Structure 1
Amino acid sequence: MKKTTTKIATIGIMSALATGLMFLEFPIFPAVGFLKYDPSDVLAILAGFIFGPVDGVIILLIKNLLFYLLKSGDIVGIAMNFAAGVSYLLPTVLIYRWRKNRVVEIIGYIVGVIVVSGVMVLLNMIVVPKYWKISFEETLKFLPWIAGFNAIKFSIDSLINGLIRKRIEKIFES
């Protein structure tokens, strides 16, 4: 019972912190200012490593819903943010859980970055023409920026998680 209560409380706290971190956003590429980096996915990834992928996805869901209600009001942007987080988190965490060591962890990060970059290019090919009401040809101009943005964003998240995960994990081992 104590472990379950602690886990639920921790997921709630991580969700709240992740929501707050979503407000710390800045563009990576000034040419496409709508693509903004925020460090909020680090907490979901961390939870995925510590508790499991479902808990990481729950944090992604909660932080996106809260951010939607508190600031954005942009359901498409929030859905895309959630899709990006899930498409990175799942392969990264599942690969790490397969064999828990540093080399496999790094492989997980690399696979996660590749998967999220590909998934977001494909989703943007579908969503952007309808959402922004622009031609598919015009959308194609954004795809290198979108792939680059996701590769950089989730590489930064990987680096942060790789640096802090072991220290945070130790807190939950006792």
Structure 2
Amino acid sequence: MKKATRIATIGIMSALATGLMFLEFPIFPAANFLKFDPSDILPLLSGFIFGPLDGILVLLIKDLLFYLLKSGDIVGIAMNFAAGVSFLLPAVYIYKIRKNRVFEIMGYVVGVLSVTGIMTVLNMLVVPLYWKIPMSETVKLLPYIAGFNAIKFSIDSVVNGLIRERISKIFEN
């Protein structure tokens, strides 16, 4: 693929992912600060098609644009980026070992487990400082945080699994 085409595609994927961040809704009413949005599907798709660094680049651009356009919450955006990276890297690297459906699914599973564990620990560190709440209150939120990440990135995995092959064929050459 030509370099210009690749750069343009990364830009388009980033813009689309930013738009998808605006489609957000809470999964758990008790923890409505955890909002699902489908925006991590496009960085994951970019990672599968072009490589992990391009996927991370799409993720970074998406988060920076959303920060500038709507959020203004640097901690939330940083957490979103950390979650995206901790899911994307294992999923893409495992798939790259052997590009077949079994390794793709293994990548998704390891990615979901990775992001769920990493974000649970990261939230234990960040939430008490950011919200200025005691650790005991943070611990009460951990099941929601773990469940949210497992659900969100499982949905992202299923959608990516359904569209990846068709979209990848567009970029074959």
Same fold (TM over 0.5): yes
Q: Which residue of structure 1 lines up, in the alignment, with residue 95 of structure 2?
A: 96
Q: Which residue of structure 1 lines up, in the alignment, with residue 37 of structure 2?
A: 38
Alpha-carbon distance in structure 2 between the residues aligned to 1:33 and 1:135: 19
Please list, as runs of the form range in 1=range in 2, the aligned pairs for 1:53-92 lying within 5 A after superposition.
Answer: 53-92=52-91
Q: Which residue of structure 2 lines up, in the alignment, with residue 112 of structure 1?
A: 111
TM-score of the aligned structures, taking structure 1 as reference length: 0.98
Q: Which residue of structure 1 lines up, in the alignment, with residue 149 of structure 2?
A: 150
Shift of residue 31, structure 1, vs aligned partner: 1.1
Determine helix, strand or coil for the equivalent of 2:122.
helix
Alpha-carbon distance in structure 1 between the residues aligned to 2:29 and 2:136: 21
Shift of residue 30, structure 1, vs aligned partner: 1.1
Matched, 1:4 2:9: no
Q: Deviations over 1:38-75 (max 9, x none)?
A: 00000000000000000000011000000000000000
Alpha-carbon distance in structure 2 between the residues aligned to 1:50 and 1:63: 17
Q: Write the letter of the residue equivalent to 1:68.
A: Y
Q: Which residue of structure 1 lines up, in the alignment, with residue 22 of structure 2?
A: 23
Determine helix, strand or coil for the equivalent of 2:154.
helix
Alpha-carbon distance in structure 1 between the residues aligned to 2:121 and 2:30: 21
Determine what percentage of the aligned residue pairs are the same residue: 75
Shift of residue 147, structure 1, vs aligned partner: 0.3
Determine helix, strand or coil for the equivalent of 2:2.
helix
Gaps of 5+ in 1: none
Shift of residue 137, structure 1, vs aligned partner: 1.0
Q: Deviations over 1:123-152 (max 9, x none)?
A: 000000000000011100000100000000
Shift of residue 108, structure 1, vs aligned partner: 0.5
RMSD of aligned C-alpha atoms?
Answer: 0.6
Alpha-carbon distance in structure 2 between the residues aligned to 1:135 and 1:99: 45
Shift of residue 107, structure 1, vs aligned partner: 0.5
Q: Which residue of structure 2 lines up, in the alignment, with residue 48 of structure 1?
A: 47
Determine helix, strand or coil for the equivalent of 1:134.
coil
Runs of 4+ in 1 over 6 A off after TM superposition: none
